[in-house]
Structures are given as structure tokens and as C-alpha cells.
Structure 1
Amino acid sequence: MRAHVLALAALAILVAASAQNAYAHFEHFAHYNARGDSVGPYFAYQELDPDYARPGEPTAVMFSVQDREGRDTYDIVTMVEVYSGHTGERIAAFPWTRQDVGDFSLTYTFPDLGSYQLVLSVATGDVNVNQVDPPRATLSSTLNCECDRAIYNVSISNNFGAIWSATIAVAVFVPLSIIGIVLGLVYKKKRKQLHANSSEEFVKWCIMLLAIAGGLVHFAVYSGHASLRIEYSIFLIVAGGMQVTYGFMYILITMAGADLKTTLRQYYRKTVAVNLFGLLGTGVLLGLYAYAVTFPPPLSPNNVPEDIDFAGILAKAVEAVLVVGILYLMRIEKRRFAGQLARTQ
């Protein structure tokens, strides 16, 4: 338990120490077609929405231009160009435009499958607002332009989004299935040995699996929050680790057993401590999620509530069932301890 307390304390210190650091001000962190690069005195992040853009589909080309401290920039003048990765030809250009804030987006429909280069230019002097510069053979060249430039490579495909989603699903469900099979075999063996109440034992092992499942979901989604605040991803990793730790701690205690009279009281105390750890931690996660989708979460650079998505609903549904299950576990463990203690006296 002390190790978990120290881990949470370290996380709190990290969040407090980096409270002024901001990252790309997008709603989520893309796994594909996203990058950050220096543009003169600034650092500019780029994303596409949808992440896995397909040809012929209107796509938001988003930029977040910030200073070196991660703060918003204001009143900058930008130009954006699109070049074909196959021919090197410029196929679209958005004229020099004064941006009130460094977070802005443009809409473009990529015509074909393949790679493209997006060129972001930020003016450092006089430019022709509402006009475009001539195309260049060297994309990063600033010849005859008082500006700084950054180049972003993007890839347009039909199936990469489905491939990525399938990979994440496999990464979550394959280990979960293996753990579930192992737990099922252990449960079956212990039921035969101890002649325990089958329904109670079944619920116990299901709760352990749910705890591990909730942790794996957090591991699967943590990177999607990195662009808002790196601390959000760290928190999700820690939360997932704590959930998996709770599941395995209870598995180890259960497999050790409590049928020896000399260890009965010690076993019960361990189960109470572990269940309280799981119950309080899960309750905190549910409360934080409810707060984050209702109000802007702490340290949010966007000052808006979090979006409600499928992964979040799945994780919270698992955690809600987990809370009920842990309370049930605590009840049956207390009843079992009282019964066994009465028989030993």
C-alpha cells in the first residue's frame, strides 16, 4: 500500500511542478498524420481530423502554433500549402491570413491515395495578405519571403484507421482473454477443492477480471490525451496500473487461500485492505470522469469539458460494475470470516 501512496504522491508533485506546461491544443492526440515542428521562434503542431483521412473526404487540417513555453500565440500571419508527395507539384494553397490566435484549421479534400506535404509558413515581416506566394522547388526555402516554414508529411489511405482500431482491440482483448481463461481454470480447480459457493466464487473471479480489464482500457487510451496535457496521460497510466495491481493482488491473495486457521485473521485483513484500495481508487476515477465531462478538467488548456466517447463509456461502465462487485466481495468475505472464526472457537 505504501508503494501506491508514494506513486500517487509523485504524480501529484509532477502535476504541480508542470502546471504551466501546455501542449497542442487539440481535442485529442492523433496517432496518425500528426506532428510538431519548430517554425522560427514558435513550435507548431499539426493534425488531421479525421486522423485517418481518406481521399475525397473533407478533412480539417489543424494547426496549433505556440511559443517555446507552450503558451498561445496571437496576431500571427500564416500561409498553408499542399504539395503532392508523388509529383512534388503544389495542388492547393491557402493565402496569407492574419490569425487572431495560433490555433486554427482549414478544410481540404485530398484527391487521391498517397502521401502529401503540408507547408506552414509564418510571416516574420511584410507579406502580401490574402495572396499566395509562388510554388517552390525546395519546400523549406524562404527565398524572397520574410517568413519561417515547417513541412509536415501526411498519408491518405482507405484502411489504416480500421487496421489501427483492430490492433488496439487485439492488444486489449487477447491478454484479457488469456487472463480470463487462466482465472477460469483456477476458479474451477478451487471450487472442486474447497466445495465453495459457486456463485460467490464466480463473482469474485469476475471482479478480478473486470479490474484488469479497466486497467487495460486505460492503457489503450492514455496516449490520446497527451496533446492536451501530458499529465493526463501520466494519470491514465497510473490509474491503469493501479487497477491491474488491484486485480493481481486479489488474485494472489485468493490463490494463497484462507483455509489455515492460523492465517484466517491475517487473510481477512489483507482482503479488506486490498478491497478498500480498489473501492476508493475506482470511486475516485468515476468521480473524476463525471467532473471532467461536466466541467473543464484541471489544467485543461481548452477550458472545455472532455468529450464523451466509446472508450470512456466502456471504461466507466466497467468501473461502475467493479464498485458494486467490490462491495459484494467485502460483504461475502466478512460473512465468510465470521462463519469460519465461529467454527474455530
Structure 2
Amino acid sequence: MAPWPFLLAVAALLAFSAPQVFAHLDHLPHYNGMQRGVEDYIIHQALEPEYAGPGQLTAIIFSIQDYDGNDVRDVETMAEIYSSTGERVKAFPWTKHDVGDFTLYYTFPQAGNYHLIFSVANGPVNSNSIDSPRGTLLSTLGCNCERVVSNLNISVSFGDIFTYTVLGAIFVPLGGLGSVLWLSYRKKRNIGQLRDTSEIIKYAVMLSAVGGGIVHFAVFSEHASLRLEYPIFLITAGGMQVSYGMLYIMLTLKSETGLEKSQYYRKTVALNLFGMAGTAILVGLYTYSVILPPPLSPTNQPEAVSIAGILAKSVEVFLVGGIIYLMRYEKKKLQAQVTQ
């Protein structure tokens, strides 16, 4: 079993070997977003709401940085929106921005596919003017500029479909796992192997570990636009939590098939120390990050307290307490067996 420090070191190595370019977006867009490079800049774009619908005022958010991750200043841009038929339905004139983070607003008239053409000047342009529509969307003929295109989909119900699909991907496996553990618990209860509530706590610890890991998988994109190291860390932490829960489940099920008690205890001690140390580190890092700016923070500000964060840390605090209880319980149980 690989220890936490080794896996986190691997994650850090992968992060620092990647280009350090990060957008000032609230989260990494799942949908209707882009990251495109031009000669001098990286252009990030997102919609708010991400799953925009027709007739809904929508913020088109841009963040432009250079290839070293620095903010750009005094950048002149133009944006155009074309329908799927090639008709230009909206144009924002050439505008000079003091900083490369800015927002435009538009209400898409109907559901369907749109093309967002974003132009960045690399020479003199006619400020406060709008270029004529082009037959070729990315053509820069007659313009001292570079252009990128983002495909947008405006839908009435796709956001709900996506949300329910993600929730299903989270709760259906947890429900299936919970059913398996419940059947195992009921079997032990029926044959008289349960003398106290330790089995309930054990199963709750297993589910909490897996659930905490899934929460980390769900929230990684909210941090991906700040630093690449953050989502790598969250995915790694989630993977370790899920691995801990699944290993504990397999070890528990194996013990029911005749694993010798002393062997079971030694293996659970190692596994529980692994889970307790890793979980305590996560709780400590979260507490630190909401009080002080977290390490490598590009904004030098503490993290905002979120419902997902509170949920994940509540589960992890219970997890640490449950692991400590189980370690003490298993030790007493082994000692009682030895003295018999």
C-alpha cells in the first residue's frame, strides 16, 4: 500500500511539471467553456450560469493571461456571437480593458448551438467599433488581431439532466455499497455474531470514507481554475479515501471467511493508521485554508467556506473518531481472546 506522502509527492511532481497558467474563474468549466492559446496569451472563458437557457441573462466571463500565468493589462478585445446558421446575432465592439479579467452579458434568444468568436488585438484596431461579419469565422483578414472560437450550447433542460446524472453517479454506488454492508450486518445479526454496536460503527466508517472521497471528486473542478496543484491534490485525496474504505470492506468480508483474528487485527491496525493519518491531515489543511491563505494560493486569500466543504470535513471528523474507536475496540477484543 503506497503511503500518503509518496502519493502526494507524485501529485506535486505532476503539478509542477505542467504549465503554470491559471484563470481567475470561480471553477473549471464543465460545459460551455474554453481555454485557448494564441501567440501571446492564454484565453479562458466560462458562462454563468454554466448551463444557460434561452431567455436567461447570461454572463460571459473572460480571463486573459500570458504564458507565465501573469495578468495582462491594457488588452483590446472584441466578441461576437453567431447562430448555428452562420448569422451574427450579437457583437461587442472593440474595447480596451485595464485588466484581462472582465465580463460581458447577453441573453440568448432561443435554445440551440452558438459560436462565440473572441478577438484579441495584436496591433492597431478601430476602438469602439465592430468589424463586419465574416463568412469564415476565424478569418483575420483586414484585422490586426488573433481569434479563437468557443462552441456554446443553450438548452432548456441539459443542466438538470447533468446534475441528476452526477448525483446518481454518487448516490447509486453508495446505495449499492450500503446494501451489501447491510446484508452482511443482517447475516451476522441472524447468526448471533453481533454482541455490541461496533459493527454498525465499522460499516459507518467504511461508507464515510468512500463518501468523503466522492465529495472530493465532486468539488475538484471548483479549485482547478486557481492552481493545477489543487485538483491534483483533491483527486489524490479522494482516491486514497475511497481506497481506504474499499480495502476495509474487503478485509472485513475476508475475516468472515476464516481470517485468523491476530492477522486481522494487525492488518486493520496498519490500514486504520493509514486512514486516520491521511484524514487528519485533510481536516487540518481545510481548517488552515479557511483561516489563512492556503499554500500556493494565487489570490492570497483564505478559502471560502462552502456547504460541500463543511459536509466533507464533518464526514472526515466522524471518520477520525470512528477509526480511533475501532482501533481501541479491536485491541480489547484481541486481548480478551488471548486471555481466554
2:313 is the alignment partner of 1:322: no
Q: Is the 8 A contact 1:297 1:306 kept in 2?
A: yes
**Counterpart residue type for residue 220 of structure 2:** Y
Instruction: Determine the structure 2 residue equivalent to 1:133.
Output: 131
Instruction: Determine the structure 1 residue equivalent to 2:145.
Output: 147
Pick one of 193, 196, 205 that aligns with 2:194.
196
Q: Is the 8 A contact 1:22 1:301 kept in 2?
A: no
Task: Measure the CA separation in 2 of the matches of 1:53 and 1:295.
Answer: 34
**Counterpart residue type for residue 146 of structure 2:** D
Instruction: Determine the structure 2 residue equivalent to 1:117.
Output: 115
Instruction: Determine the structure 2 residue equivalent to 1:43.
Output: 42
Residues 65-85 of structure 1: per-residue CA shift (max 9 Å, x gap): 222333322221111122222
Task: Measure the CA separation in 1 of the matches of 2:109 and 2:132.
Answer: 21
Pick one of 244, 248, 252 that aligns with 1:246.
244
CA drift of 1:55 comes to 1.8
**Secondary structure in 2 aligned to 1:293?**
helix
Residues 168-187 of structure 1: per-residue CA shift (max 9 Å, x gap): 11111111111111111122
Task: Measure the CA separation in 2 of the matches of 1:224 and 1:295.
Answer: 19
Residues 68-119 of structure 1: per-residue CA shift (max 9 Å, x gap): 3333222211111222223x22222222121222222112222221122211
| Counterpart mapping for 1:1-345 below 5 A | 1-18=1-18, 21-86=20-85, 88-193=86-191, 195-257=193-255, 263-343=260-340
Question: Could you list the runs of 5+ residues in structure 2 that have no partner in the other structure?
Answer: none
Question: Could you list the runs of 5+ residues in structure 1 that have no partner in the other structure?
Answer: none
Task: Measure the CA separation in 2 of the matches of 1:181 and 1:211.
Answer: 16
Q: Is the 8 A contact 2:15 2:232 kept in 1?
A: no
RMSD: 2.4
Residues 237-261 of structure 1: per-residue CA shift (max 9 Å, x gap): 211111111112222332333998x
Q: Is the 8 A contact 1:191 1:201 kept in 2?
A: no
Task: Measure the CA separation in 2 of the matches of 1:82 and 1:303.
Answer: 35
Q: For this pair of structures, how many residues does the alignment match?
A: 340
**Secondary structure in 2 aligned to 1:308?**
coil
TM-aligned CA distance change 1:304 to 1:5, over 3 Å:
closer
Task: Measure the CA separation in 2 of the matches of 1:258 and 1:272.
Answer: 18
Task: Measure the CA separation in 2 of the matches of 1:28 and 1:307.
Answer: 13
Residues 210-269 of structure 1: per-residue CA shift (max 9 Å, x gap): 111111222233344322222222111211111111112222332333998x94444323
Task: Measure the CA separation in 2 of the matches of 1:38 and 1:338.
Answer: 64
Q: Is the 8 A contact 2:16 2:229 kept in 1?
A: no
Q: TM-score, normalised by structure 2?
A: 0.91
How much identity, in percent, do the aligned residues show?
52
TM-aligned CA distance change 1:249 to 1:130, over 3 Å:
same
CA drift of 1:290 comes to 2.3
TM-aligned CA distance change 1:136 to 1:271, over 3 Å:
same
Q: Is the 8 A contact 1:125 1:146 kept in 2?
A: yes
Q: Identify which range, 65-74 or 196-205, moves more after superposition.
A: 65-74
Task: Measure the CA separation in 2 of the matches of 1:299 and 1:305.
Answer: 11
